[in-house]
Amino acid sequence: MRLKEKVALITGAGQGIGREIALSFAREGADLAICDINLEQAGQTKKEVEALGRTALDLKVDVTNYAEVEEGVNKILDKFKRIDILVNNAGITKDSLILRLSEADWDAVLNVNLKGAFNTIKAVSRVMLKQRSGKIINIASIIGIIGNPGQANYAASKAGIIALTKTTAKELASRNINVNAVAPGFIQTAMTEKLPEELKAKMLSNIPLGRFGTVQDVAKTCIYLASEDSSYITGQTIVVDGGMVML
Ligand code: NAP
């Protein structure tokens, strides 16, 4: 029980990696604020968390909208009185080569993946500053480190997340708030399911550990970063990719 009685806010927790982080945190004793743009999916995760014996609140929060984020944070405080852990997980892709990449698709990806994290950090850090403690985990991607043809918007947003992580870590360190990023490689979720089989086979051949990642692989790293086991780590990006990228 490494997160006993901690309160965690997770964005995009209605499915995929965010859902698994919520369930893993619940198994470690945390109560959960399940935020997602899709309230029905958030409600599903809430039920699963409750089945594990923990308390959960499901909220419709579009992370691109600061007013909605702030309203969500206030509802979480009404119910739980504190927020110990924030996981910025909500993310989207809209892939295209730069020459064909529309301004709308550039803006959409940057707004969810980067501005969304800024919005939640801004709203939650005021709470953590008062508490004089907190853990912030931003879900980046190896694409933000190495780039990828057809993903200029996604790569820029994830590189931005890594820089945002370092700056936030420096700003909040004196108040006992750790801020780190997790950069997954290829993880089996709805986001990667839509990729062509040929591309998946090529990617698999580049993974030294010889398998795609699971949502549990990412969630386990998040438990570590959310727990006291990582209390002397801040501003870092942990790559979870089976060895694809070695820095
Ligand atoms: P996913 O299955 O598509 O889940 C993302 C969740 O975020 C969905 O529930 C989605 O809701 C929600 N969401 C989208 N826009 C939102 C918004 N504006 N506000 C709040 N919630 C929003 O994706 P995933 O694969 O679990 O990815 C989770 C995170 O890991 C993302 O940041 C992604 O970039 C990162 N990541 C994933 C991989 C991978 O291989 N899967 C690799 C590296 C990094 P809807 O379904 O309704 O849109």
Looking at residue 241, its pLDDT comes to: 98
Determine the pLDDT at residue 170.
Answer: 98
CA 78 vs. chain centroid, Å, equals 23
174 C-alpha vs ligand 1 centroid, how far in Å?
31
The CATH classification of domain 7-239, taken from the options 3.40.50.12280, 3.40.50.720, 3.20.20.70, 3.40.50.2300: 3.40.50.720
Neighbour tally for 204: CB within 10 Å:
13
What is the per-residue burial (b if ≥16 Cβ within 10 Å, else e) of 21-49?
bbbbbbbbebbbbbbbbebebbbbbbebb
Exactly one of 66, 154, 224, 232 is catalytic; which is it?
Answer: 154
Give the residue from 42, 140, 52, 129 showing the smallest Cα distance to 88. Answer: 140
Measured from the Cβ of residue 109, the count of other Cβ atoms closer than 10 Å reads 24
SS3 of the chain: helix, strand, coil, percent, to 5: 50, 15, 30
Q: Which of 15, 86, 212, 237 to mutate to test the pocket of ligand 1 (most atoms within 8 A of CB)?
A: 15
How many Cα atoms within 13 Å fall on the side-chain side of residue 126? 9
Our answer on whether the CB atom of 88 is closer than 6 Å to any ligand 1 atom is: no
Strand-pairing partners, residue 237, are 181
pLDDT of 194: 86
Q: Where are the beta strands (DSSP E) in 61-139?
A: 85-88, 134-139
Give the tokens for residue 138: 């931003």
Substitution site in 9, 10, 17 for ligand 1 pocket (most atoms within 8 Å of beta carbon): 17
Confirm whether pTM is higher than 0.85. Answer: yes
pLDDT for position 236:
98
What are 136-179's pLDDT values in tens digits? 999 999 999 999 999 999 999 999 999 999 999 999 999 999 99
| Any atom of ligand 1 within 6 Å of the Cβ of 63 | yes
Nearest CA to ligand 1 atom 7: 12
66 is catalytic: no
Spans of the chain below 70 pLDDT: none
User: Given this model, what pLDDT does residue 191 score?
Assistant: 84
Answer yes or no: is the C-beta of 165 below 6 A from any ligand 1 atom.
Answer: no
9 Cβ inside 6 Å of ligand 1? no
Two tokens at 241? 């990719």
Half-sphere exposure of 245 toward its Cβ, with a 13 Å CA cutoff? 18
Question: Is the Cβ atom of 17 under 6 angstroms away from ligand 1?
Answer: yes
Per-domain residue ranges of the chain? 7-239
The pLDDT, as a whole number, for residue 247 is 84
Q: How is residue 81 annotated by DSSP?
A: S
Q: Identify the pLDDT of residue 79.
A: 98
Of 87, 94, 148, the C-alpha closest to 117 is 87
pLDDT given for residue 129 in this prediction: 98
